[in-house]
Amino acid sequence: MGYSLVCFLIHAVMPHLTDPAKKKALCTRLARVEGQLRGVQRLIDEEADCEKIAQQLTASRKALDKSFFAMVACMIESGQVPAGKVAEMLTKFA
């Protein structure tokens, strides 16, 4: 199927993420999150117990947070983004 829309946006909007292995790892992680969210939608459609839905939403949110911090780590490791800009981004989005 190729890259998801999220991965396309990362490649288009985040030019600082240039290491092919790191991009692939991040896109793989995001594909898992995408699958988790489809599972949540399925649970809602099947009228599953709210606690089960909440548990899966929490897992999805944590996985997405890990993706965000993995991207930030890549930016720091690359040295292409000044520390102040990274700090600003963390303050704004984390």
Q: How far is CA 91 from CA 61, 79, 84, 86, 88, in A?
A: 18, 19, 10, 9, 5
Give pLDDT tens digits for 19-51.
Answer: 888 889 999 999 999 999 999 999 999 999 999
Structure tokens at 32: 């898992």
Number of domains present in the structure of the chain: 1
DSSP readout, 42-83? HHHHTT--HHHHHHHHHHHHHHHHHHHHHHHHHHHHHT-S-H
| CATH classification of the domain holding 45 | 1.20.58.1000
Band (pLDDT 50/70/90 cuts) for residue 3 is: low
Structure tokens at 15: 């030019």
Arithmetic mean of pLDDT over the chain: 83
Contact 10, 23 (CB under 8 A): yes
Contact 44, 53 (CB under 8 A): yes
Residue 61: give the domain boundaries.
5-93
Tokens 């190729």 sit at which residue?
2
